[in-house]
Amino acid sequence: MQKKHGFELVATSEVNANPKDTADHPKGVWTLPPNLRLKDVDREKYLDIGESDRMTLLFRKPVSSKS
């Protein structure tokens, strides 16, 4: 999709990765902090996991040589 709109993938980063997140939570990412959708159910378990596993992508849109 990004190429369709003229963007190039420059880099990826695991800076926001969370290896404790197994991604199989009853209410999805909203089970984890800061939302804690399940309120007090297994609260400590989800606080220990922390926020969801994320990836960071860097794109750039090349300057067109057309004038």
pLDDT of the residue at 41: 96
pLDDT of the residue at 3: 74
DSSP 19: T
Residue at 10: amino acid letter:
V
Please enumerate in sequence order all residues whose Cβ is within 8 A of that of 63, keeping only pairs 6 or more positions apart, or say none: none
pLDDT of the residue at 58: 97
Query: How far is C-alpha 25 from the geometric centre of its chain's CA atoms?
Result: 15
- For the chain, the first-to-last Cα distance in angstroms comes to 25
pLDDT of the residue at 66: 65
pLDDT in tens, the chain (67 residues): 777 788 999 999 999 999 999 999 999 999 999 999 999 999 999 999 999 999 999 999 988 766 5
Identify whether the C-beta of residue 9 lies closer than 8 Å to the C-beta of residue 47. no
Q: What gap in Å lies between CA 57 and CA 37, rounded to an integer?
A: 27
